[in-house]
Structure 1
Amino acid sequence: MTGGTFTRDELVEAFARFEQTVDHAAKTRDWDSWVDQYTDDVVYVEHAAGTMRGREQVRPWIWQTMENFPGNHMTSFPSLWTVYDEDADRVLCELDNPMRDPGDGTIITATNISIVTYAGDGKWRRQEDVYNPLRFVSAAMKWCRKAAELGTLPDEAEKWMTRVGAQMGGPA
């Protein structure tokens, strides 16, 4: 490899803006700003949902995912560690996905590895999220059981727990 298009400093700065935008989206629940960071022709590989091509394929998916349980109970997506691969214009990171407090201070979370490829001008041309979907299901089930125990389980989460529990072949 002969080296990437962008310097390490450019990648670090661009990824810091990416994280700020994602944090703002998580706080405001306005997912458009997150999606608008991608190029029009972005390729977004999500191992459970498949491959989306183009920002306008990503947009409805992210809104659907983040506005329904368990996504709508995730409060932030901070990176736990980050690697900058300037030869490939990529950033690799482990993202935490903590869920809101079920009522007793318990923190329930799952993580994923994300690989994002920078296109320049504040835009990202590719993202791949690598994770085991069953770890996310397990974390969400744990959250539901804790919230049920505390009497804070919302109807939407209860319906999700019942449906997913049945799909998994056992009780919620």
Structure 2
Amino acid sequence: MVRFSREEVQDAFETWWTIGNVEEDWTSWANLFVPDVTYEDYFWGPLQGRGEVDLWINAVMKGVPAIYTVYDWHIIEDEKVVLQCQNRRDNPHDDGPSYFDFPGLTVLRYAGDGLWESEFDYWDRTGARRTTAQFLDACERAGITDPVQTMTRRHWPDGPGWARTQAQPRPSWLDRPELPGIQRPHELRKLLAERHA
């Protein structure tokens, strides 16, 4: 039996995408999950509850400020949404491609009332390593040393409208100076341990 209309799931998905991946309001994005959400990223491991998701996403995005997420496609089947995206860094140097991408795949399960009960993330780890090296080389050649300078977001997709913006990025982690940027699972485990201490 279908629990929710396709239109309701689509509306909730567009909100989820826009608040997080476009507006980069990761704190509000974490509140789009049920309080006891089950979240798993195959690299970072399992997270349980909104508090852990909020801590993780702000710390991770602070650790890789150049990355923004570009919509490819999604499908809806009952309460489940499967989507593909590109994790993108703009090239800060005139030579080479305009940007460096590696793909990701996400499976979301909708809970109703605009909230999500679970998320599972998968992404191309080999591609992430390769494009990180290419991006860092381009930064060195361009003379960029401040990571905030790399938050350019110049190459959004042509559409749909809810998957792009012309606004300057202002991610929520900018308002959390006490939060470290992280890039490794052991750093996340330390943060979570301190939170639960």
TM-score exceeds 0.5: yes
In structure 2, C-alpha distance between the alignment counterparts of 1:78 and 1:136, rounded to whole Å: 15
CA distance in 2 between counterparts of 1:81 and 1:19 reads 12
CA distance in 1, matches of 2:35, 2:74: 25
Q: Distance in 1 between matches of 2:7 and 2:109?
A: 15
RMSD: 2.2
Q: Counterpart amino acid of 1:22?
A: G
Which of residues 38, 41, 47 in structure 2 aligns to 1:43? Answer: 38
Which of 95, 112, 116 pairs up with 1:120? 112
Runs of 4+ off more than 3 Å:
153-156
d(CA) in 1 for partners of 2:99, 2:116: 31
Question: Are 2:8 and 1:10 equivalent residues in the alignment?
Answer: yes
Contact 1:114 1:130 in 2 (8 A): yes
User: Which position in structure 1 is the counterpart of 2:48?
Assistant: 53
Provide the TM-score with structure 2 as the length reference. 0.68
Tell me which moved more, 37-46 or 129-138.
129-138
Count of residues in correspondence between the two structures: 148
Uncovered stretches (5+) of structure 2, i.e. residues with no partner? 149-183, 185-197
Matches within 5 A, 1:19-98: 19-26=17-24, 30-68=25-63, 71-75=64-68, 77-86=69-78, 89-98=79-88
Select the structure with the greater relative contact order (CA < 8 A; seq sep ≥ 6): 2
Q: Which residue type is aligned with residue 29 of structure 2?
A: W
Percent of aligned positions that are identical: 22
Per-residue deviation at 1:106? Answer: 2.2
Measured against aligned partners, the alpha-carbon deviations of 1:118-155 in whole angstroms (never above 9, x if no partner) come to: 01111111000012322212211110011112222447
Distance in 2, Cα, partners of 1:23 & 1:46 = 16
Q: Give the TM-score normalised by structure 1.
A: 0.78
Superimposed CA distance per residue, residues 58-100 of structure 1 (whole angstroms, 9 cap, x where no aligned partner): 11111110001xx21113x2320111011xx110000121113
Q: Which runs of 5+ in 1 are unaligned?
A: 157-163, 165-172
